Amino acid sequence: MTITHFDAVLLFSLFTSIVFGITQRAEPRMMIRFGAFCFVLFVLGTVAGSWLMWLIKH
């Protein structure tokens, strides 16, 4: 099995955000909000980091 870098980011962010959401908040609604927040932060953080590395290289 091979996946693209972005697929790996999405999968990693999804699984990790689900666990963070469930374990770090007590109310179901807050779990969903925190999980979604973590997911967005993971993905955007990785994209931002990738562009930063590209800028450093060029």
Indicate whether 30 belongs to the interface with other proteins (CB under 8 A): no
CA-to-CA distance for 53 and 35, rounded, in angstroms? 27
Q: Minimum Å distance from CB 13 to other proteins? A: 11
Residue with tokens 């007590």: 26
Indicate whether 2 belongs to the interface with other proteins (CB under 8 A): yes
Residue 47 · residue 5 · CB < 8 Å: no
Indicate whether 44 belongs to the interface with other proteins (CB under 8 A): no
Which residues in this chain contact other proteins in the complex, by CB under 8 A?
1-3, 5, 8, 11-12, 14-16, 18-19, 22-23, 26-27
